[in-house]
């Protein structure tokens, strides 16, 4: 059956009404020119996976019963003896793939074909359960999120490690380290370390590329508010999405990364969401704005509260701060994350809250006094996270705070980095390493199990995977700086 025949069949009502309406509303004329459908889903660490089928294979039956794939080849999923899995397409997520000609991309969730249940380790399904749990709690019916993903666009990257050597080498025409380069026609205009925030061209060399990224995102259905160069030298950027409902925003984060990486590649450059690729300059965070709504009303707004925040918002903050050490295992989930989470680089390591203060883990923006715009900003997450896991964990921590009426303490409306030793000693901080975060998650994850959103199997698999595949391999390898410190001992 051709795409034209499928569309005609849908218009005539040959399929069930809900499938027909979803396809027509989300894909519209794209279906007429599409020849392939690309199904995308997320592995446990948070990387998009995909496979494609001819458009003729997208029928009512296949949409309802799913598409088979080998789960044993996906990180964190299944063993070889239980490999068969189903990808259930969420038809309303369809968008014309900007990097694959005549292809519609559709995001899906994963099912176990034997039990006919959604797979407990599927990150997107966990986010769906978190959103359902929010509604079932009666506290709110909608969570709006607005993450600010930072990233670097480099000109080249080389890295390798064997038994007898190890190195990485990053380069960027924008890099401040290249002010003395005489191998090319050096015209200067390199953003200085920690001075890359908002420079115009020619120091900002990426304006047109960011324009193209933003235009592509908008065409793909993502609402964009602004973009700019970020603080670090060497091409650090930020593109801000307008807020969106919980699951939709998690999907958009995956789309965002996909578009950024592929536009960079198109221009012969490379993009990374690694939290701390450069020594001695700012890392990349994912400051996440959050608010809860019910019946069209913002539950975080109170005109008489601190920074216009309601008690519910303060209790939500209390939950985030209380569970922050455990949350870090999911929102800052790499060994590299803890090279960003150190004092002195605008890193939100201190578990306090404040209006305007960017040295606090939770900031309350005060750009506007509007009820609609009132929100909190959790600054500790970074873009290496699996967005489905991270958003779900943050929501569960905040809801736990509301249910238990957790007190976040007094706000910290002063520069934390200039406090005396006695004062700073009283402020709790995020874990100093990924190992500490995983230990905190082992000790504190009951709040994640509420409503069966996360399961013990997911928590245990995550911890075991991260220890075996990331922490131990990094721990066992000599670090280049150790040679500087110890070679002559």
CATH number of the domain at 94, please: 3.10.20.70
Other C-beta atoms lying within 10 Å of the C-beta of residue 98: 19
Q: Return d(Cα 186, Cα 154) in angstroms, integer.
A: 17
Task: Supply the range of the domain harboring residue 262.
Answer: 142-486
**Nearest Cα to Cα of residue 108 among 122, 121, 129:** 122
- 61 and 16 share one domain: yes
Q: What is the CATH number of the domain that holds 415?
A: 3.30.590.10
**Nearest Cα to Cα of residue 189 among 180, 198, 179:** 179
Confirm if 380 and 363 have CB atoms less than 8 A apart. Answer: no
Q: Give pLDDT, residue 434.
A: 98
- 52 and 196 share one domain: no
* Residue 127 within a domain: no
Catalogue the active-site residues. Answer: 70, 148, 150, 230, 238, 287, 358, 377, 379
Q: Show Cβ contacts of residue 442 under 8 Å, excluding neighbours closer than 6 positions.
A: 459, 463
Enumerate the β-bridge partners of residue 112.
117
* Residue 128 within a domain: no
Q: Give pLDDT, residue 441.
A: 98
Structure tokens of 447? 């709040």
Q: Return d(Cα 270, Cα 301) in angstroms, integer.
A: 41
Confirm if 154 and 168 have CB atoms less than 8 A apart. Answer: no
**Nearest Cα to Cα of residue 388 among 110, 137, 136, 135:** 110
* Residue 134 within a domain: no
- 476 and 405 share one domain: yes
- 205 and 354 share one domain: yes
- 456 and 375 share one domain: yes
- 79 and 158 share one domain: no
Q: Give pLDDT, residue 425.
A: 77
Q: Return d(Cα 135, Cα 13) in angstroms, integer.
A: 32
* Residue 185 within a domain: yes
Q: Return d(Cα 181, Cα 176) in angstroms, integer.
A: 10
* Residue 425 within a domain: yes
- 183 and 73 share one domain: no
Q: Return d(Cα 89, Cα 69) in angstroms, integer.
A: 13
- 93 and 200 share one domain: no
Q: Which of 84, 119, 154 is the last residue of a domain?
A: 119
CA distances, 303 to each of 10, 96, 373 (Å): 50, 43, 12
Q: Give the pTM.
A: 0.92
How many Cα atoms occupy the beta-carbon half-sphere of 108 within 13 Å?
28
Q: Give pLDDT, residue 2.
A: 44
* Residue 299 within a domain: yes
- 152 and 77 share one domain: no
CA 132, 138, 141 angle in degrees (round to 5)?
Answer: 55
* Residue 405 within a domain: yes
Q: Which of 119, 151, 177 is the last residue of a domain?
A: 119
Q: Where are the alpha helices (DSSP H) in 74-171?
A: 123-137
Q: Give pLDDT, residue 23.
A: 56
Number of domains in the chain: 2
Residue matched to tokens 């002559």 = 488
CA distances, 484 to each of 163, 470, 476, 478, 489 (Å): 18, 24, 18, 12, 10
* Residue 126 within a domain: no
- 51 and 185 share one domain: no
- 95 and 222 share one domain: no
Structure tokens of 205? 């060399």
Q: Counting Cβ atoms within 10 Å, is residue 170 exposed (0-12), middle (13-18) or buried (19+)?
A: buried
The H or E element that residue 109 is part of is strand 103-112
- 77 and 152 share one domain: no
Would you give per-residue pLDDT tens digits along the chain (489 residues)?
444 545 555 455 444 455 545 555 555 566 678 899 999 999 999 999 999 999 999 988 999 999 999 999 999 998 877 889 999 999 999 999 999 989 999 999 999 999 999 999 999 999 999 999 999 999 999 999 999 999 999 999 999 999 999 999 999 999 999 999 988 888 989 999 999 999 999 999 999 999 999 999 999 999 999 999 999 999 999 999 999 999 999 999 999 999 999 999 999 999 999 999 999 999 999 999 999 999 999 999 999 999 999 999 999 999 999 999 999 999 999 999 999 998 766 788 999 999 867 678 999 998 888 889 999 999 999 999 999 999 999 999 999 999 999 999 999 887 776 777 777 778 899 999 999 999 999 999 999 999 999 999 999 999 999 999 999 999 999 999 999 999 999
Other C-beta atoms lying within 10 Å of the C-beta of residue 149: 23
């Amino acid at each position: 059956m051709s795409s034209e025949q499928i569309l005609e069949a849908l218009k005539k009502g040959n399929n069930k009404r809900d499938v027909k309406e979803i396809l027509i509303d989300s894909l519209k004329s794209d279906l007429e020119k599409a020849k392939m459908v690309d199904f995308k889903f997320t592995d446990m660490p948070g990387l998009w996976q995909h496979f494609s089928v001819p458009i003729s294979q997208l029928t009512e039956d296949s949409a309802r019963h799913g598409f088979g794939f080998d789960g044993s080849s996906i990180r964190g999923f299944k063993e070889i003896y239980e490999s068969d899995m189903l990808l259930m397409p969420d038809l309303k997520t369809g968008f014309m793939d900007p990097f694959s000609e005549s292809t519609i991309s559709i995001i899906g969730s994963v099912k176990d074909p034997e039990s006919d249940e959604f797979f407990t380790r599927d990150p997107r399904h966990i986010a769906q359960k978190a959103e359902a749990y929010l509604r079932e709690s009666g506290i709110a019916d909608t969570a709006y999120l607005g993450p600010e993903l930072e990233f670097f666009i480099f000109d080249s990257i080389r890295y390798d490690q064997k038994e007898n050597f190890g190195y990485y080498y990053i380069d960027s025409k924008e890099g401040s380290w290249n002010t003395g380069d005489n191998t090319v026609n050096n015209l200067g205009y390199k953003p200085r370390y920690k001075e890359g925030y908002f420079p115009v061209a020619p120091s900002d060399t990426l304006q047109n590329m960011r324009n193209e990224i933003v235009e592509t995102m908008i065409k793909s259905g993502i609402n964009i508010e602004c973009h700019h160069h970020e603080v670090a030298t060497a091409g650090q950027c930020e593109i801000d999405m307008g807020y969106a409902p919980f699951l939709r925003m998690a999907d958009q984060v995956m789309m965002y990364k996909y578009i950024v990486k592929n536009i960079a590649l198109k221009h012969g450059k490379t993009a990374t969401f690694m939290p701390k690729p450069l020594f001695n300059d700012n890392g990349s965070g994912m400051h996440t704005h959050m608010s809860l709504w019910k019946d069209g009303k913002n539950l975080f707004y109170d005109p008489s509260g601190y920074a216009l925040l309601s008690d519910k918002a303060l209790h939500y903050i209390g939950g985030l701060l209380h569970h922050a050490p455990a949350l870090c295992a999911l929102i800052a989930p790499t060994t590299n994350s803890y090279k960003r989470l150190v004092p002195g680089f605008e890193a939100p390591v201190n578990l306090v809250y404040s209006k305007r203060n960017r040295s606090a883990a939770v900031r309350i923006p005060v750009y506007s006094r509007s009820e609609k715009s009132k929100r909190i900003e959790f600054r500790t997450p970074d873009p290496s996270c699996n967005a489905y896991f991270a958003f779900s964990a943050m929501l569960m921590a905040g809801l736990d705070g509301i249910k238990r009426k957790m007190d976040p303490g007094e706000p910290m409306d002063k520069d934390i980095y200039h406090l005396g030793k006695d004062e700073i000693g009283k402020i709790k901080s995020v874990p100093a390493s990924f190992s500490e975060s995983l230990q905190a998650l082992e000790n504190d994850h009951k709040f994640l199990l509420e409503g069966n959103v996360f399961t013990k199997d997911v928590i245990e698999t995550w911890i075991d995977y991260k220890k075996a595949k990331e922490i131990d391999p990094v721990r066992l390898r000599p670090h280049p700086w150790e040679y500087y410190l110890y070679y002559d001992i």
